[in-house]
């Protein structure tokens, strides 16, 4: 059995990674792509290419839709795809606010359809192992977390610099360390912001956000997201019985390269994988009624809530 996927958009992430993941994945077929420029969609090799997103969701041969549009377009197209009876995998951040995420998951539940945030780093075996270690109290009770994702060089004209289109470093790359955080502490709803600092672009989006949070006495999380700092990714945490580090500069984007995780000096090695492909395979398996892992709605909602808090404070 196979899930026939329709893709909305043929932008950077689709061209660089996800079109190939749909082609390579078991249990999935790249049925359709819609883009404003039909030729750009066709070049990615779907069974059929369209020059509109509506044509994809209306295609009766499409079972599930992957949304890879700019962030402001996520909620409208999640709603349209669910209303058309399609399961949805939507790029991160799922929506622009917690209220929007609640609305989206409520509609999916009402329609009996799957809605999943494509926070691809969560499917990487190293990240799965990290969650497993923490859940089994492998390093005791976690009391410290540090997560950062910074880079420089967003081109002028890109939606990432436009507030109305869901731009800003926090929504773009802050989502990754926040997903790491909600995956590794027992109760994300206990998280409170201690301090947050934004450095803003003249257009209004945050170019850098640094924040300290806590989830109980003696705990601390530090999150950094930036469009103007040197390329850097880090995930490290400390528990009452030890610490875990993800060495290298690819804590959230390890892709087709070997990776390691260090648990109190002991190195665990991971073979190169395409976590986008794993994501497509797992989501397809769940759609087909099998057993697979997908980012739980609880985690997407918790991240949406944190994004709201961090964007409005400071
Ligand atoms: N998982 C990951 O590793 C990862 C990495 C990067 C980005 N993302 C996410 O993927 C999404 C797209 O990011 P991207 O880097 O691929 O962005 P991008 O290259 O700028 O593409 C933006 C997409 O938005 C569409 N769009 C619709 N109206 C538009 C307009 N008026 N102006 C410009 N674009 C318009 C474009 O569609 P057409 O193709 O129809 O022109 C294009 O597909 C975002 O939600 C982002 O957070 C995920």
What atom in ligand 1 is closest to the CA of residue 34? Answer: 40
Q: Which residues contact 25 (CB under 8 A, 6 or more apart)?
A: 277, 280, 281, 284
Distance separating alpha carbons of residues 151 and 169, to the nearest angstrom: 9
pLDDT, residue 202, reads 84
Q: How far is the CA of 29 from the centre of ligand 1 (A)?
A: 21
**Short-list 50, 58, 90, CA closest to 73:** 90
Distance separating alpha carbons of residues 238 and 228, to the nearest angstrom: 28
The model carries a pTM of: 0.98
pLDDT, residue 312, reads 86
> For residue 16, what is the DSSP state?
I
> For residue 95, what is the DSSP state?
S
The verdict on 94 and 11 lying in the same domain is: yes
Count of domains for the chain: 2
Q: Where are the alpha helices (DSSP H) in the chain?
A: 12-13, 19-24, 38-42, 53-58, 74-83, 98-111, 125-135, 169, 175-184, 275-287, 297-312
Both tokens of residue 6? 């329709």
The verdict on 213 and 248 lying in the same domain is: yes
The verdict on 113 and 252 lying in the same domain is: no
User: Which of 120, 142, 164 represents a domain boundary (last residue)?
Assistant: 120
User: Which of 73, 90, 120 represents a domain boundary (last residue)?
Assistant: 120
The verdict on 145 and 44 lying in the same domain is: no
41: left (phi over 0), alpha (psi -120 to 50) or beta: alpha
pLDDT, residue 203, reads 83
Pair 88, 65: CB distance under 8 Å = yes
Q: Is the CB of 35 under 6 A from ligand 1?
A: yes
Pair 169, 225: CB distance under 8 Å = yes
Q: Which of 69, 100, 255 to mutate to test the pocket of ligand 1 (most atoms within 8 A of CB)?
A: 69
Q: Which of 70, 71, 124, 256 to mutate to test the pocket of ligand 1 (most atoms within 8 A of CB)?
A: 70
Q: Which of 9, 39, 279 to mutate to test the pocket of ligand 1 (most atoms within 8 A of CB)?
A: 9
pLDDT per residue of the chain (314 residues) written in tens, 0 to 9: 999 999 999 999 999 999 999 999 999 999 999 999 999 999 999 999 999 999 999 999 999 999 999 999 999 999 999 999 999 999 999 999 999 999 999 999 999 999 999 999 999 999 999 999 999 999 999 999 999 999 999 999 999 999 999 999 999 999 999 999 999 998 999 999 999 999 998 889 999 999 999 999 999 999 999 999 999 999 999 999 999 999 999 999 999 999 999 999 999 999 999 999 999 999 999 999 999 999 999 999 999 999 999 998 77
Q: How far is the CA of 128 from the centre of ligand 1 (A)?
A: 27
The verdict on 148 and 231 lying in the same domain is: yes
Task: Let me know if residue 245 belongs to a domain.
Answer: yes
Q: How far is the CA of 13 from the centre of ligand 1 (A)?
A: 7
The verdict on 189 and 58 lying in the same domain is: no
Q: What are phi and psi of 43, to 5 degrees?
A: -60, -15
Q: Give me the CATH number covering residue 27.
A: 3.40.50.720
The verdict on 116 and 134 lying in the same domain is: no
Q: Tell me, yes or no, if 86 is annotated catalytic.
A: no
Q: How far is the CA of 68 from the centre of ligand 1 (A)?
A: 5
User: Which of 120, 141, 166 represents a domain boundary (last residue)?
Assistant: 120
Catalytic residue among 4, 92, 143, 179: 92
Structural domain harbouring 100: 3-120
The verdict on 62 and 190 lying in the same domain is: no
């Amino acid at each position: 059995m196979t899930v026939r996927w329709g893709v909305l958009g043929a932008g950077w992430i689709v061209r660089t990674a996800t079109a190939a993941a749909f082609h390579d994945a078991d249990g999935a077929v790249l049925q359709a792509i819609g883009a404003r420029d039909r030729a750009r969609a066709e070049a990615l090799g779907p069974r059929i290419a369209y020059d509109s997103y509506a044509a994809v969701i209306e295609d009766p041969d499409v079972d599930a839709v992957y949304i890879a549009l700019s962030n402001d377009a996520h909620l409208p197209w999640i709603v349209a795809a669910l209303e058309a009876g399609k399961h949805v995998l939507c790029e991160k951040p799922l929506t622009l606010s917690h209220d929007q995420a609640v609305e989206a998951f409520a509609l999916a539940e009402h329609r009996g359809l799957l809605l999943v945030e494509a926070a691809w780093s969560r499917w990487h075996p190293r990240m799965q192992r990290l969650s497993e270690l923490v859940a089994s109290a492998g390093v005791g009770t976690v009391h410290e977390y540090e997560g950062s994702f910074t880079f420089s060089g967003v081109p002028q004209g890109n939606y990432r610099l436009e507030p109305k289109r869901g731009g800003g470093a926090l929504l773009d790359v802050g989502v990754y360390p926040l997903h790491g955080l909600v995956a590794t502490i027992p109760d994300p709803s206990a998280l409170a912001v201690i301090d947050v600092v934004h450095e803003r672009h003249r257009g209004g989006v945050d170019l850098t956000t640094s924040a300290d949070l806590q989830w109980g006495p003696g705990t601390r999380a530090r999150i950094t997201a930036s469009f103007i700092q040197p390329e850097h990714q880090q995930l490290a945490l400390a528990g009452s019985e030890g610490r875990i580090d993800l060495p290298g500069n690819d804590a959230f984007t390890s892709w087709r390269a070997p990776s390691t995780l260090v648990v109190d000096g002991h190195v665990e090695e991971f073979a190169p994988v395409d976590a986008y492909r794993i994501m497509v395979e797992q989501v397809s398996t769940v759609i087909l009624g099998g057993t697979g892992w997908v980012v739980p709605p609880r985690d997407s909602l918790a991240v949406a809530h944190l994004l709201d808090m961090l964007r409005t404070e400071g």
